Amino acid sequence: MRKNPLFLSACPLLLLLCGCVFESYRPVNEFDLVPGKPVETARELRILEFRNDSTAGVRLQSREESGRVVRDPYNSWALPPGQLIARTLNLALRPAKGGAAEPVVVEGTLEVFELDAAARNFRLAGSWAPQAGNKRFLFDFSVPVEGNSAESTAQAAAAAARLLAEQIGDWSRSAAGPGNGKP
């Protein structure tokens, strides 16, 4: 069988062109939220996984002014947003010495967990409630993102989670104040 010379000369050229089409490998970076210094509470709190009603997933995402959501293919969170926030809050909230012994279980919902690309803010919004109570508390925190990197976004997200921890800690201290006894 006779080989086609055109085919033989086109193969090396085709292989060279294929190398130009594909992007080189880039590893996916994972980010966790660092809670920072503990927030003192009046009693032990156990934060359950927040229900994720946002459009956010494991990939870092931003929302453009037009409403278009862009997910970063190279940067992700260490856990899904609902688990990530709960874990961060559990690490951040620490009972004061001599606080009430029985823990209060807190549940929550995430409605927004993303970078607002137009405002260059990380936005964290939703609600939370003590499981035994009948009152829900709303939160909506926007923290400026310094820089244009995934690391900057993760730092702003951690700062927003810190604000949420402080809100829950403030509630804990005021709910256990004189005469209240229980939240």
pLDDT tens column, 89-146:
999 998 877 655 688 999 999 999 999 999 999 999 999 999 887 899 999 999 999 9
> Once rounded to an integer, what is the mean pLDDT over residues 18-26?
64
Q: Please indicate whether residue 118 or residue 1 has the higher confidence score (pLDDT).
A: 118
Residues in contact with 28: Cβ distance below 8 Å, sequence separation at least 6, in sequence order? 73, 74, 75, 76
Residues in contact with 61: Cβ distance below 8 Å, sequence separation at least 6, in sequence order? 55, 69, 70, 71, 72, 114, 115
pLDDT tens column, 41-91:
988 999 999 999 999 999 999 999 999 999 999 999 999 999 999 999 999
Report the pLDDT value the prediction gives residue 182, as an integer from 0 to 100: 44
Report the pLDDT value the prediction gives residue 176, as an integer from 0 to 100: 63
User: pLDDT-derived band of residue 22, with 50, 70 and 90 as boundaries?
Assistant: low
What structural domains and CATH numbers belong to the chain? 30-175 (3.40.50.10610)
State the DSSP H helix or E strand holding residue 166, giving kind and residue range, or none if neither: helix 150-175
